[in-house]
């Protein structure tokens, strides 16, 4: 018997993905060097004729129907190269390898051209939605050879999340377009998470919100324009009691956030492209700052904070909703701006409405706002930045008084709101007709003869400033 689809890496994601493929009527064969993982998949799904698995690479490859379609869900980095090398001797020309992990886009480009020389198609397909998404329907972001995509399209469309009858998967573009889009997805994820944590903080510190009150507030937001997976799970998290103490679990969790690198890559690449994404940058920095726990404790005792002023609870709740909405919009705006520029620079041929559409369900950054973003890009094809889109201007403008009020309050009270204040500063910079960077140009020319341009005539100028 030959199987429709192969999957390498039977960790939680891989196992769930393969069970999802089988649920949709395709037969699938799993492979992992770890015998326990193979056994556990066979125990869960092996009783149907749809699922099989083996620790042996040759058996695995030979069990797949041609052209073989095999997906890797293994940790990004060396493991991907090792798996490819291990399976390569058994593969034939025309076979398709899909990398479903969070691989660095440049690694994907390297692997694609390496495998092309051997007649094998390789494409990176970001998969988002965590373990549950993999089982019930993730958002899938494939890029690479369009021809190869046609082979896996029916399987991906069946397993992907569904938004109003549309599958949350689409061919995005050539080369590493898929991994690149997934990387920026994760950068946006970092930004939205940072903003959510800041709003949670100010509600507690300035409004004395209790966990049940916060839970109710986030839950009500999730039924409005802030509807999103991250707001939804925040409400869930806030009601979880701790089984070791009397309190809530969230209060017992150490405030040091870890990261696996995709947010940092997004920021690093934005710098390379020359595209400002400060809300995402600061979200990465705050994870780094959070890790300096010992230093923070020492600094806290050296620079004691005065007691926080209090705000009217209800008014604060309303402002917080507006501020979070503004912050979410600006984070998506920065992420889409980066995608727009990267698409030109790397020749990805990305279509922004398509990206927004496949993020509407299944992935971690899914949100009601994405349907609005897809519509806005669709309606006005020349939109290069969401802040410049009329529909979004109408959403942003009314939130500004609340954002300014909250940021000013937080600054006066020593409550850090770096994501929100950066989003606001970015917005204020973006909407300023004349920035003081003329002075920077003058300084550069003063000390280094770096030249400057003038406002009133064309050309490149230099001045001997000391005379």
- CA distance from start to end of the chain: 87
The answer to whether the Cα torsion of 370, 375, 381, 386 is positive or negative is negative
Convert residues 260-279 into a mask of x (bound to ligand 6PG by CB under 6 A) and - (unbound).
x-xx----------------
- DSSP-assigned letter for residue 228: B
Judge residue 25's burial from the number of C-beta atoms within 10 Å of its C-beta, 0-12 exposed, 13-18 middle, 19 or more buried: exposed
CA proximity to 237, closest of 255, 256, 253, 226:
253
Segment near ligand 6PG (CB under 6 A); pick from 43-51, 73-81, 128-136, 278-286? 128-136
CB of 128 to ligand 6PG, least distance (A): 3
Residue number, 179 or 340, with CB nearest to ligand 6PG? 179
Task: Clarify whether 182 is annotated catalytic.
Answer: yes
- Is residue 259 near ligand 6PG by the rule CB under 6 A? yes
Member of 46, 75, 94, 130 binding ligand 6PG (CB under 6 A)? 130
CB of 92 to ligand 6PG, least distance (A): 31
Residue number, 45 or 362, with CB nearest to ligand 6PG? 362
Residue number, 69 or 185, with CB nearest to ligand 6PG? 185
Distance from C-alpha of 40 to C-alpha of 52, rounded to nearest angstrom: 11
- Is residue 141 near ligand 6PG by the rule CB under 6 A? no
Distance from C-alpha of 191 to C-alpha of 137, rounded to nearest angstrom: 24
> Among the options 112, 189, 232, 322, which is catalytic?
189
Task: Clarify whether 157 is annotated catalytic.
Answer: no
Convert residues 184-223 into a mask of x (bound to ligand 6PG by CB under 6 A) and - (unbound).
--x--x----------------------------------
Member of 6, 30, 100, 129 binding ligand 6PG (CB under 6 A)? 129
**What six digits make up the tokens of 84?**
């490819």
Convert residues 350-369 into a mask of x (bound to ligand 6PG by CB under 6 A) and - (unbound).
-------------xx-----
- Is residue 179 near ligand 6PG by the rule CB under 6 A? no
Closest residue to ligand 6PG, Cβ-based?
A: 128
- Is residue 256 near ligand 6PG by the rule CB under 6 A? no
DSSP output for 61-111: HHTBPSSPEEEE-S-SSHHHHHHHHHHGGG--TT-EEEE-S---HHHHHHH
Count of beta carbons in the 10 Å neighbourhood of residue 287: 18
**What six digits make up the tokens of 132?**
């549950």
Distance from C-alpha of 8 to C-alpha of 28, rounded to nearest angstrom: 11
- Is residue 102 near ligand 6PG by the rule CB under 6 A? yes
- The CA-atom distances, in angstroms, between 270 and each of 119, 185, 283, 328 are 33, 13, 14, 18
Residue number, 152 or 168, with CB nearest to ligand 6PG? 168
Residues in contact with ligand 6PG by CB under 6 A are 102, 128-130, 186, 189, 258-260, 262-263, 363-364
Q: Catalytic site residues?
A: 182, 189
């Amino acid at each position: 018997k030959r199987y429709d689809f192969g999957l390498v890496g039977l960790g939680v994601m891989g196992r769930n993905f393969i069970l999802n493929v089988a649920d949709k009527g395709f037969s699938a064969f799993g492979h992992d060097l770890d015998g326990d993982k193979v056994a556990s998949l066979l125990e869960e799904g092996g009783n149907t004729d749809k699922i099989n698995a083996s620790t042996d690479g040759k058996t695995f490859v030979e069990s797949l129907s041609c052209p073989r379609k095999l997906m890797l869900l293994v940790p990004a980095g060396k493991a991907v190269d090792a798996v490819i090398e291990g399976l390569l001797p058994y593969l034939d020309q025309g076979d398709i390898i899909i990398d479903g992990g969070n691989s660095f886009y440049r690694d994907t480009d390297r692997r694609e051209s390496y495998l092309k020389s051997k007649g094998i198609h390789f494409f990176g397909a970001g998969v988002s939605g965590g373990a549950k998404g993999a089982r019930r329907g993730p958002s899938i972001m494939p890029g690479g050879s369009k021809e190869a995509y046609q082979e896996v399209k029916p399987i991906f469309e069946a397993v992907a999340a569904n938004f109003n009858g549309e599958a949350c998967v689409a061919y995005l573009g050539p080369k590493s377009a898929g991994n690149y889009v997934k990387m920026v997805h994760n950068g946006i994820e970092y930004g939205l998470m940072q903003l959510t944590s800041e709003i949670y903080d100010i509600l507690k510190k300035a409004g004395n919100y209790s966990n049940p009150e916060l839970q109710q507030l986030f839950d009500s937001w999730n039924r409005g324009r802030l509807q999103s997976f991250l707001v939804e799970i925040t409400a869930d998290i806030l009601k979880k009691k701790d089984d070791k103490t009397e309190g809530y679990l969230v209060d017992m969790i150490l405030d040091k956030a870890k990261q696996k690198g995709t947010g940092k890559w997004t920021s690093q690449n934005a710098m390379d492209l020359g595209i400002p994404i400060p809300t995402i940058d600061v979200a990465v920095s705050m994870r780094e700052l959070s890790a300096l726990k010992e230093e923070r404790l020492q600094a806290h005792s050296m620079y004691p904070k005065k007691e926080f002023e209090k705000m009217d609870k209800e008014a604060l709740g309303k402002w917080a909703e507006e501020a979070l909405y503004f912050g979410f919009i600006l984070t998506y705006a920065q992420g889409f701006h980066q995608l727009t520029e990267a698409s030109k620079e790397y020749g990805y041929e990305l279509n922004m409405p398509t990206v927004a559409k496949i993020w509407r369900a299944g992935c971690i950054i899914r949100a009601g706002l994405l349907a609005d973003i897809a519509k806005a890009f669709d309606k006005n094809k020349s939109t290069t930045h969401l802040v410049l889109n009329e529909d979004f201007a109408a959403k942003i403008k009314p939130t500004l008084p609340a954002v300014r009020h909250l940021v000013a309050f937080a600054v006066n009270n020593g409550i850090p709101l770096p994501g929100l204040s950066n989003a606001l500063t970015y917005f204020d910079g973006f909407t300023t007709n004349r920035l003081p960077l003329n002075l920077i140009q003058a300084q550069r020319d003063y000390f280094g003869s770096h030249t400057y341009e003038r406002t009133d005539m064309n050309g490149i100028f230099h001045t001997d400033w000391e005379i």
